[in-house]
Amino acid sequence: MQRFVIEGGKRLSGRVSISGAKNSALPIIAASLLTANRVVLNNIPDLVDVRMMIELIEYLGAKVEFAHHTIKIHTPKLKRIDAPYDIVRKMRASYYVLGALLVRARRAKVSLPGGCAIGPRPVDLHIKGLRALGVDIDIEDGFINAQARRLVGHDVNLQGPKGTSVGATINVMIAAAGAQGETVINSAACEPEIVDVADFLNAMGFDISGQGTHTIIIRGQASTRDVEYGIIPDRIEAGTFAVAAALTRGRITIENCRPDHLTIILAKLEEIGGKMTRGEKTVDVRGYGRKQAINIYVAPYPGFPTDMQAQFMALLSITPGTSTIKETIFENRFMQAVELMRMGADILIEGDTAVVNGVRKLSGTYLMASDLRASASLVLAGLVAKGKTIVRRIYHLDRGYEKFEIKLRGLGACIKRQRE
């Protein structure tokens, strides 16, 4: 077990380069199983989750080389059609192989997923969408058992009780790419990672349009070609460093990012009092202005991302006035609040809303990380806390941030990794 030890009070400044998007890399690696041709993927982040996905597709029969942020994948033949519990329990995104296995083998057995403990994330929309394409599915002993004599295009509506689903949109899109006929996904998710997966499938030789809107059209076909593709930068990592600049009253130039993917995040930082200068692939964030309280409403893209509310909670903890964060997607997404309160934050949780009263300072202490984004918020809080902050269970961070402490040290933070 490892931990971070942080000495707070350093104003961050400098330049930081953003890694490839984890939430694009994982489904795109899974989608590589669609083809027997060769696939080369660039700008892949070296993360625990990426290594786990590589382990899974190798188990299924892929030949993989991974070095210097490039993955070379060749799957001339599948050896297995099952995704075992020991892999899937560690990384929810493992279920993205479901659609690809159905295209290649017409059968799949995938364990129900694990991942961060941030509330129920049912697979009902995945099942609904795949059944519409002609897949027979039953759930038994914790596994999704799926088979289809053939996949047939169909109209699919992915509207759920809490809106649309990124995962279901991707899984149905991957399966529909190899189906016969046309599939229309209504109430599709619009996240940039959806667009990235669709663009990769098109580069592979499939025919997808409408990505980035709530209606995606997939004209299924069987032919594919060799492909080399570079994934987009990680908007959540970029947003986390933007918050770090605002929190420490520093100045950080975020490089290799997509400012158009950060619109709502940067707008909220400007509302708090930060100053932004946007370039083509950079954002210069200046956080030394006067700060004021804001209200945040979490919503699917292009709304405020649920993956950024924990980091903003750390910032709002020391922002004068009373701010609110309403979480509409996950039920247990305020798990960082208790730890922040141990540092002196004044936070009241009322159902799906956090009321944050800004305090003058936070104090360093021992903290326990509960999930990926909560971990990031505790590290950010430690950067401004008085004294020493120790964040335990940082394996969560290694799932989603590449060389996080190294990048922070490059900006002037006093942070080191230690064994327990």
**Known catalytic residues?**
116
Written as six digits, the tokens of 164 are 């649309």
Q: For residue 119, give the nearest of 162, 152, 86, 150 by alpha carbon.
A: 162
The residues, ordered by sequence, that sit 6+ positions from 156 with a Cβ below 8 Å of its Cβ are 128, 129, 132, 133, 172, 176, 183, 184, 185, 186
Cβ neighbours, 10 Å, residue 313: 27
Report d(CA 25, CA 45) in Å as an integer.
8
Question: CA 214, 254, 384 angle in degrees (round to 5)?
Answer: 105
Q: Tokens 């989608």: give the residue.
A: 31
C-alpha–C-alpha distance, residues 61 and 261, integer Å: 35
- Other beta carbons within 10 angstroms of residue 341's beta carbon come to 15
Give the 3-state DSSP-derived string for 253-280, with helices as H, strands as E and coil as C. Answer: EEECCCHHHCHHHHHHHHHHCCEEEECC
Backbone φ, ψ for residue 146 (5° rounding): -130, 140
- Nearest alpha-carbon partner for 104 in 124, 79, 129: 79
Pairing of strands 107-111, 82-83: parallel
Tell me which amino acid residue 62 is: A
Kindly state the tokens that stand for 129.
Answer: 């969408």
Asked if residue 27 has a cis previous peptide bond (ω within 30° of 0), the answer is no
Which H helix or E strand runs over 216? strand 215-220
Q: Which has the closest alpha carbon to 11: 386, 410, 365, 384? A: 384
Sign (positive/negative) of CA torsion 236, 237, 238, 243? positive
